[in-house]
Amino acid sequence: MNVLAKAATSLAAGSRRSAASTTAGFLRHSSHFVYQPDAKAPIEGPTQKMNMFQAINQAMDIALEQNDSALVFGEDVAFGGVFRCSMGLQKKYGKGRVFNTPLCEQGIAGFAIGVANTGAKAIAEMQFADYIFPAFDQIVNEAAKYRYRSGNLYDCGSLTFRAPCGAVGHGACYHSQSPEAYFAHTPGLKVVVPRGPNKAKGLLLACVNDNDPCIVFEPKTLYRAAVEEVPVAAFESPIGKADVLRTGTDITLVGWGTQIHVLQEVADMAKKQLDVSCEVIDLVSILPWDKETICNSVKKTGRVLIAHEAPLTNGFGAELAATIQEECFLHLESPVLRVTGWDTPFPHVFEPFYIPDKHRCLAGIRKLIDY
């Protein structure tokens, strides 16, 4: 058998083993996390099992139903969008309220600002977070500053941008980026990142009803992987409030979005392998962020590891590290450690080596404990 034939046979056998392991309940090799649903629903009442894109769909449905001025628009949203988040909404609410736009992110943002300025609720989709940069000027120089430069006579409240972000297994440099830090440097904006269906629905409704322009970065790999029991009724999750998902005594682990599921698995590994008790915090809100919850935890544990998919240099973890150093210096038993993406464009075939997976995070915990 020649080399190519052997390779093909090996690949086929590997595919069969992969399929078998999937049906046996194991993760695909491309998954770098184990999704951990919230232990309970955020409010009382009837719930429905939903994945994250279904929860987002329901949130937009509620927003459109509750406010006749609400509009949903973006590239391909009329037929449901590339991730199906707006499925069925045009059929229910009509072409005048749910509609496609030209392939022009700057135009989408400019139109959204105008809609919000009239007092209507604008829910604009950027097809991928990687595509949001042509709209950067409109969001940063117009939307974020509208209230300030008009002396509070006008504002862009009820303006929400949705943007799928983060690693997905095959997205490469134009479909995998996490650009939250670019916008966190902009007073006047609010930026949030959900970890699953309940947070996605609650945060999206909170943003739609907020008095300032908001950006919801939605980890695209969670659209289908994340499944929870979600309340059917409308509810809002607070913007600017972190969630302590697990209490611990030895080290604080901070992340957001998909990374929070990596950190929860790492906390189990640290307890089992190192007998280290980890406190796990989902930052949830990038701007504003919950300094009090983070600092109180670090003062208790004395050690902190911050993990995010975005590159290390000037990633939002740097802001957390600086604040922790200022506020908690005398309580620290070791330096603040960041485990992040590398300072390179997001790779395709090398994605598994780029992302801050459980092995890199566990190594970081070991380094902090041994300091």
Question: CA 93, 163, 213, 198 torsion: positive or negative?
Answer: positive
Give a yes or no: residue 188 inside a domain: yes
CATH of the domain at 193: 3.40.50.970
In percent, the amount of the chain with pLDDT more than 70 equals 92
Give a yes or no: residue 22 inside a domain: no
Please give the pLDDT value at position 31. Answer: 73
Which of 207, 231, 255 lies at the terminal end of a domain, its last residue?
A: 231
> Contact, 334 vs 301, CB < 8 A?
no
Residue in this structure with the two tokens 């070991």, named with its chain if needed: 366
89-95 long-range Cβ contacts below 8 angstroms, 24+ apart: 89/57, 89/60, 89/61, 89/64, 92/61, 92/64, 93/64
Which pTM was predicted? Answer: 0.91
Question: In terms of residue numbers, what domain contains 89?
Answer: 47-231
pLDDT digits (tens, 9 = 90+) for 205-215: 999 999 999 99
Residue 229: active-site member: no
Give a yes or no: residue 8 inside a domain: no
pLDDT digits (tens, 9 = 90+) for 272-291: 999 999 999 999 999 999 99
Domain match, 171 and 316 both? no
Q: Which two tokens stand for residue 227?
A: 């499944």
Query: How confident is the prediction for the chain on average, in pLDDT?
Result: 92
- Per-residue CA distances from 139 to 29, 108, 115, 119, 311 (Å): 38, 10, 14, 17, 22
Domain match, 222 and 259 both? no
Domain match, 180 and 54 both? yes
Which of 209, 231, 253 lies at the terminal end of a domain, its last residue?
A: 231
pLDDT digits (tens, 9 = 90+) for 52-99: 999 999 999 999 999 999 999 999 999 999 999 999 999 999 999 999
Give a yes or no: residue 111 inside a domain: yes
Please give the pLDDT value at position 2. Answer: 44
Domain match, 67 and 209 both? yes
**Which residues 6+ apart lie within 8 Å of 220 measured at CB?**
83, 128, 164, 165, 166, 168, 171
Residue 327: active-site member: no
Burial of 256 from C-beta contacts in 10 A (0-12 / 13-18 / 19+): buried
Domain match, 189 and 79 both? yes
Give a yes or no: residue 273 inside a domain: yes
Domain match, 173 and 219 both? yes
Domain match, 183 and 331 both? no
pLDDT band at 201 (very low <50, low <70, confident <90, very high): very high
pLDDT digits (tens, 9 = 90+) for 106-147: 999 999 999 999 999 999 999 999 999 999 999 999 999 999
In DSSP terms, 341 is beta-bridged to 311
pLDDT digits (tens, 9 = 90+) for 280-336: 999 999 999 999 999 999 999 999 999 999 999 999 999 999 999 999 999 999 999
Mean predicted confidence (pLDDT) in 178-186: 98
Task: Give the total number of structural domains in the chain.
Answer: 2
Give a yes or no: residue 27 inside a domain: no
Residues 32, 125, 142, 175: which is the catalytic one? 175
What's phi and psi for 87, nearest 5 deg? -55, 130
Residue 318: other Cβ atoms inside 10 A: 17
Give a yes or no: residue 16 inside a domain: no
Residues 32, 75, 105, 309: which is the catalytic one? 105
- As a whole number of angstroms, the distance between CA 329 and CA 278 comes to 19
Please give the pLDDT value at position 238. Answer: 98
Domain match, 255 and 220 both? no
Please give the pLDDT value at position 30. Answer: 52
Which of 210, 231, 252 lies at the terminal end of a domain, its last residue?
A: 231
Q: Which two tokens stand for residue 79?
A: 């037929």
CA nearest to 284, candidates 169, 131, 180, 167: 180
Give a yes or no: residue 343 inside a domain: yes
Domain match, 270 and 151 both? no
Domain match, 220 and 257 both? no
Domain match, 260 and 223 both? no
Q: Is it the case that residue 13 has pLDDT exceeding 50?
A: no
pLDDT band at 191 (very low <50, low <70, confident <90, very high): very high
Domain match, 214 and 283 both? no
